[in-house]
Amino acid sequence: MVNTTPPPPVTTLSLSDKMLAGPSITSLVPIKLDLSKSNYSSWCFFFKTHCEGLEILDHIQHKEASTSVDVTPPPTTEWLKVDSILKSWIFLTSSEVLVRRLAKANPKTALEAWTFLENVFLDNKRTKTVALRGELRVLDMGNMTVDEYFAKIESIATLLTDLGSPIHDDDLVTYAINGLSDRFAHVAGIIAHRDPFPDLDMVRSMVTTEDLRLKHKVTPSNHITTPSAPTVLLAESSNRESRETRNRDSRGPSSPIVCRHFARTGMCKWGAGCRFMHDSMQKKNTVSQQSSLWSSNSSRQSGTSTGLQGMGQAQLLQLVEAQ
């Protein structure tokens, strides 16, 4: 038996249904348009790329003026639905500040919303161009890292391109090497004498390589600190010699060196100023008293030298022992 039942009709999704069924626009345009970040060029790139894939780029582009008089047909319901969805995408991918400004402007179509944002970012082109070129001319690396420094240069260059005043690659490289810090003076000189002049990407690569080399050079290497290391042995030897020298010069109680005159007579005319050690069991005040007594006796003996010359050897020994 032949089946005469007709096949079910093929359901074709409209463009607006495809736009609603697809992934979220915030995942397809990964950045939000923001005045403070100056990311208009990047935002345009992602947004236009997605619209081009859906073949709806004509909704946000101005039509070229035509010499012939064309009668524009009224928009269809599907066109209005697509345009409304596209306008909501513009709102969803903009920052809160720009959303408030868009809501105040109340654009009727996606083209009006797109044109409004374009004017916000590209208004006063001449004034912004002069300011950006001046900023690039005096830009200094300072405490910025290599990545931050070149990202800043690329951001300014992108804004100048958006304003219709792109900067030449040679000028961009000149500004970049002039703003480098002093520690990159060597590589800056090499770049300046390259022929042909390198582009900004090559300059960034050379400066990054030099930065890594300098960081590795500054980082202290790990020295061997085992007891068998020459440096450690030399330090230990020097410390040992210093300790031995201090011990030899010490006048502490353990020193075996004794003043010979004190050992023989029990007195020293130098007293505490003697460089030898006296009897450790004797008190310091006794040494001082004997030193004073010896000094006074020496003075008395010097005054009566004539009388001592007439004394005999036995009398001199008795006088010394009495002292």
Concatenated DSSP letters of 96-120 = HHHHHHHHHH--SSHHHHHHHHHHH
Q: Tell me how far the alpha carbon of residue 289 is from its chain's centroid.
A: 71
Q: What is the pLDDT of residues 97-141, one digit of tens each?
A: 999 999 999 999 999 999 999 988 877 778 888 999 999 999 999
Q: What pLDDT is stored for residue 246 in this prediction?
A: 55
Predicted confidence at residue 229, as pLDDT, reads: 47
Say how far apart CA 109 and CA 308 lie, in whole Å.
Answer: 135
The answer to whether the CB of 190 falls within 8 A of the CB of 198 is no
Peptide bond preceding 73 in cis form (omega within 30 of 0): no
Please check the confidence at residue 261 and state whether its pLDDT lies above 60: yes
pLDDT of amino acid 278: 62
Q: Band of the pLDDT at 35, cuts 50, 70, 90? A: confident
Main-chain phi, psi angles of 181, to 5 degrees: -70, 170
CA separation for the pair 171, 157 (Å, rounded): 11
Q: Which residue has the higher pLDDT, 20 or 4?
A: 20
Looking at residue 215, what is its pLDDT? 87
Distance CA 46, CA 117 (A): 15
| Among the ranges given (79-88, 184-193, 259-268, 270-279), the one the predictor scored with the smallest mean pLDDT | 270-279
Contacts of 19 (CB under 8 A, 6+ apart): 54, 56, 82, 85, 86
pLDDT at position 73 is 75
**At 281, is the pLDDT very low, low, confident or very high (cuts 50, 70, 90)?**
very low
Q: Is the pTM of this model over 0.75?
A: no
pLDDT grade for 63, boundaries at 50, 70 and 90: confident
Outline where 179-229 has alpha helix (H): 185-192, 200-218
Bridge partners (DSSP) listed for residue 258 = 277
pLDDT value for 219: 57
Place of tokens 């236009």: 48
pLDDT at 235 exceeding the cut of 90: no
Torsion of CA 293, 299, 300, 306, to 10 degrees: 140
Count Cα atoms within 13 angstroms, Cβ side, for 77. Answer: 2
Query: What average pLDDT does range 204-215 have in this prediction?
Result: 92
Averaged pLDDT for residues 180-205: 90
Strands (E), the chain: none
Could you tell me if 136 and 19 are in contact, meaning their C-beta atoms sit under 8 angstroms apart?
no
Q: What mean pLDDT do residues 289-302 have?
A: 51
Average pLDDT estimate for 257-273: 69
Of 28-37, 82-91, 259-268, 282-291, which range is least confident? 282-291
Residue 201 pLDDT grade (very low, low, confident, very high; cuts 50, 70, 90) = very high
